[in-house]
Structure 1
């Protein structure tokens, strides 16, 4: 019943996409003091996520980014630090906010048998719970405990993080208007949803569900955001 209530509330009060494409001044006001959780994944997921972040990077000193990376994914960590260094050199130390990085057990390895997945997924869930409940801030801002937005684009760990956030809302541990989950299907999925996308689609726990190709959007009846990996050139 609580799950159904959360879904109905979300549909009555949808997220305003205009805030994401608004002029810099308005967008920065909307994101002031924002706390993001960004789930990175192996393969092309991390490069896609960082490319999307770079195209519309909000320059704000109070923004905090908490990156969650699956265990054994050294390449994602390498790309992440390169991205943060690039943002620092491009915008300056006082315009990019802060970030931290945490590694959790991979929910499901590539080609891992499905019958063994519940064990690794359970370990991942336990570790994610502690991360979501732990504030990244010190001092007075420590009261800002829960993320404002959780962003994922396809790795299985992204669904685990979203599920944990949803459970915290179901059991009234976290406010229902916190931890808004943005799922952005990988650009590589041109005809159908990924396994993670199907999990989000059928459970309906994402506050915003976006795909990047028209055929996928029409097939599943979801929003098509167009290509988000490459910055659009104004005409």
Structure 2
């Protein structure tokens, strides 16, 4: 009975992902450009922070936006005890009080089996859907941690059905030279992001729909 429930759940989840991916190409990618500049005065930015180098890379990326996004939303895994302190320190250095740190369950812990991660990912998606619907960010920035998958899925879904209008950008880690990370590969093949940025030209040959970072900067200026 347990395996039957698991099989049905996995099939339903896979079907939803495929439908979301298909609609992303038909609806989202036809309406969004590669520009990430906000189109309104009170724009909000949502960034998913991960442990270790992910958070450092993300905060370095966010520094490029200055005051273009007056509201910052940081999403971290509920077991991450370091990223919150870094986000708070970053915003205090800017003398900015318009930010919040939100926590959702981690979709997959280090060393967790892929079998059990199906259920933890579903639980994470439940929290991500509520969070994205409540905050309705104009820009979602992702760069690799597993927690970004439920967030990307929720943002893409609500954008498809036009409950929110958001742009999703994924920047692959600089340490990924020959192939995308698991998170990057999932988002690339499902087409749930508007722009997937790579930092090495070698990756462009393997992933032609990805955008080399130098080309992206030229389009965004």
Q: What is the TM-score with the length of structure 1 in the denominator?
A: 0.76
Contact 2:144 2:173 (8 Å CA) reproduced: yes
Question: Comparing both chains, which one has the higher relative contact order based on Cα–Cα distances under 8 Å and sequence gaps of 6 or more?
Answer: 2
Give the whole-Å Cα distance in 2 for the aligned partners of 1:37 and 1:16. 17
Contact 2:21 2:190 (8 Å CA) reproduced: no
Give the whole-Å Cα distance in 2 for the aligned partners of 1:193 and 1:2. 21
Gaps of 5+ in 1: 21-26, 89-95, 136-145, 229-235
Deviations 1:104-144 (A, max 9, x none): 10011122111110111111111111111214xxxxxxxxx
Partner of 1:174: 163
Give every structure 1 segment of 4 or more consecutive aligned residues whose post-TM-superposition deviation is greater than 6 Å.
Answer: none
Deviations 1:175-227 (A, max 9, x none): 4xx1211111111111110000110011011011111111112221121104x
Partner of 1:224: 212
Residue 41 of structure 2 corresponds to residue 32 of structure 1: yes
Contact 1:69 1:103 (8 Å CA) reproduced: yes
Tell me how large the CA RMSD over aligned residues is. Answer: 2.4
- 1:16-95 alignment runs, 5 A limit: 16-17=34-35, 30=39, 32-54=41-63, 56-59=64-67, 63-88=70-95
Gaps of 5+ in 2: 1-18, 217-221
Give the whole-Å Cα distance in 1 for the aligned partners of 2:20 and 2:115. 29
Partner of 2:102: 102
- Tell me the CA shift for residue 153 of structure 1: 0.4
1:41 partner SS: coil
- Tell me the CA shift for residue 14 of structure 1: 4.4
Q: What is the TM-score with the length of structure 2 in the denominator?
A: 0.80
- 1:58-207 alignment runs, 5 A limit: 58-59=66-67, 63-88=70-95, 96=96, 98-135=98-135, 146-170=136-160, 172=161, 174-175=163-164, 178-207=165-194
Partner of 1:139: none
The 3 A distance-change label for structure 1 pair 70 and 35 is: same
- Tell me the CA shift for residue 97 of structure 1: 6.3
2:41 partner SS: coil
